[in-house]
Structure 1
Amino acid sequence: MTESRSETLTRADIAEAIHRKVGMSRAGSLLFVEGIMDHIKEALGRGETVKITRFGTFKLNDKGERIGRNPKTGEEAKIAARRVVTFRASTELKDRVAGR
């Protein structure tokens, strides 16, 4: 069994990796990462699918209104319709995670 890591990769970590690998300034690297994240958020906000080749696809799904239950009380409650973002990993990413 593979040991799991409890560490979290942050935007700052990504910016630092860009700084080291590309030689861009730390501030420039962070602006670059923020710019990419903003572009992805804006595209999703417009209802577009975001596909990053060899990584995965971010897609919007509309979930209809439904009845759910409070797990503590068992009482029924209405869950409002909403739009959610889903992520589907590419085959390459799945293989990397699986250690292949």
Structure 2
Amino acid sequence: MTKKELAQALAGKTDLSASAAEDVVNAALDIISDSLAKGEDVKLAGFGNFETRERAARTGRNPQTGAEIQIAASTSVGFKAAAQLKRAVNG
């Protein structure tokens, strides 16, 4: 499902217009992104948790040449599905 399809589904389930639903989806995703960028966890009851995870610097290999390269430390986003979402997906 794309962001546009999500907005259309939201418009179909509510009395929002398609453009208003798209604005709501974009605003919600912006808020989630901003919170994660600040290092805050985002918890959506019944859906799951988004959290930032620190990845340490490490040595990797270029698969084409086999040469060692240094991979810098970074922050990534992780998602853990809630039990309710897992049950819905698994039937």
| TM beyond 0.5 | yes
1:54 aligned counterpart, secondary structure: coil
What TM-score do the two structures reach when normalised by structure 1?
Answer: 0.85
1:52 aligns with 2:52: no
SS in 1 for 2:10: helix
Instruction: Give 2:35's aligned residue.
Output: 43
Paired residue for 2:53? Answer: 61
Aligned-residue offset at 1:72? 2.6
SS at match of 1:71: coil
Aligned residue runs from structure 1 range 24-43, under 5 A: 24-43=16-35
Shift of 1:76: 1.1
Q: Tell me how large the CA RMSD over aligned residues is.
A: 1.0
Shift of 1:96: 2.0
Structure 2 residue identity aligned to 1:20: G
Q: Which runs of 5+ in 2 are unaligned?
A: none
Q: Output the CA distance in 1 between the equivalents of 2:35 and 2:64.
A: 38
Q: Which amino acid aligns with 2:67?
A: E
Q: Which amino acid aligns with 1:18?
A: L
Structure 1 gap segments, 5+ residues each? 1-8
Structure 1: how far apart are the matches of 2:71 and 2:2? 32
Counting matched residue pairs gives 91
Runs of 4 or more off by more than 4 Å in structure 1?
Answer: none
Is it true that 1:86 corresponds to 2:78 in the alignment?
yes
